[in-house]
Amino acid sequence: MSRSGEWHGTGNYAENVLRQVSAWTRDHPRQADGLLAVALLVFSAGQVAAGQVSALERVAFAVITVVLAATVIPRRRYPGAAFTVAAVIGAAQIAFGVQNGGPGPVFALQPTNADLAILVLLYTLAAYRPRPVSIAGLVVCLLGSAVAIASWAPSHGAHPTDALLGAVAGLGGLTLAAWVLGDSVAYRYRRAYYASLEDRAARLEAERDAQTRIAAAAERARELQERRARAVDESAARLRRIERDLHDGAQVRLAALAMTLGEIKENLEQSGDDRTLALAGAAHQNAKDTLAELRDLARGIHPPVLDRGLGPALGILAGTSAIPVGLTIALTERPSPAIESMAYFCAAELLANAAKHSGARRVTIGVREQDAGLVMSVMDDGNGGARVVPGGGLAGLRERVQTVDGRLDVDSPPGGPTAVTIELPRHA
């Protein structure tokens, strides 16, 4: 393998390792902060062991170092409190642990490598807290750095410029770098947060628009249902008026005409005019046939028995059936006239079909309430095999029922029995 290939493979390996480490720290933040605290303690171990001091002073020095390093453990959950504790320890170190011209008067408060925890906490403060809070932390760190540099022994030597510049560049640069890195993380968080807010606002707006459209559609559907119900009821009312007009007008006049023709026929029989008698007899028969057809037409428009309710009307219909009919009615209140008329004509059509095609010996009709509507079932013990085919009688019934959002189901296996179930609303 060439040298460039080796470097390329090494670079990929390093990138994979860094990616895995970064993923692990994101998934295990507490463990990562614990390892960071341990690393700070390890880097400070040599300073704890150095110096000719008493055991008590060394223990105090170790305790302060441990506390300072341990402040990074709760930094994600309590960044402000952790930074405050570390800043207080750092201020005490500057005040009592740094002395111009020699070691600090208090050995336990001398600076150590664990002071890097202050920079870590400044980074955390900038990343997790509002910018005014992080700027206040930055100012505290910069002021502390300035006081520490001013108290530092080399800054008071014969040629302090290089030492001062190095200290200012080192401490100031690290402090600013920690704050800038944390603030950049906060900026990315804020951008992601604002983007999520915008997405959420857009989704909420879309949901409100959708709800508005749904409400408008529901209102439109309700208006259409009301209009349809009014149209169906008005149509049923017009049919009832037509039936009454036929019954009270044309039927009465035809009945009177038939009676008059009957009297003329009787008079002609007495006079012996056979030709005129034949004409009068034919006219009399035509009048009676027309009257019968008109009565059937009126009943087909609106059976007068429905004025008494669906139950009595079905009872009369069952009594006129060519097949014995068992009837069960369980209604606590009457449906609208249009629904009663539809249920009656469906029952009449199904009875006629059973008489013509099923070979049944008995038919059962049941009407009961269900939810906000009624269910009518018509069953016969005939040969079965009934199907809903386009243009057939059952297809016509289904279309008629569907005009009011009703439903018609047919269960008719070969050999029977046949069960037709019709679901209708209480009002159209």
Give tens-digit pLDDT for 166-223: 777 888 889 999 999 988 988 888 888 888 888 899 999 999 999 988 988 888 888 7
Pairing of strands 98-99, 102-103: antiparallel
2-6, 18-22, 320-324, 357-361: range with lowest mean pLDDT:
2-6
Total number of residues shown for the chain? 428
d(CA 26, CA 79): 17
User: How does pLDDT run across 306-322, given as a tens digit for each residue?
Assistant: 778 888 888 888 888 88
pLDDT tens-digit series, residues 269-320: 666 666 666 766 777 677 677 766 666 655 555 677 777 888 888 888 888 8
Give the mean pLDDT of 338-356: 86
What does the pLDDT average to over 63-75?
Answer: 91
Residue 385 in tokens: 């095999």
Of 55-59, 70-74, 245-249, 390-394, which has the strongest mean pLDDT? 70-74
Q: How far apart are CA 349 and CA 267, in angstroms?
A: 44
Mean pLDDT calculated for residue range 63-87? 91
The structure's pTM equals 0.48
Q: How far is CA 246 from CA 289, 298, 301, in A?
A: 15, 7, 10
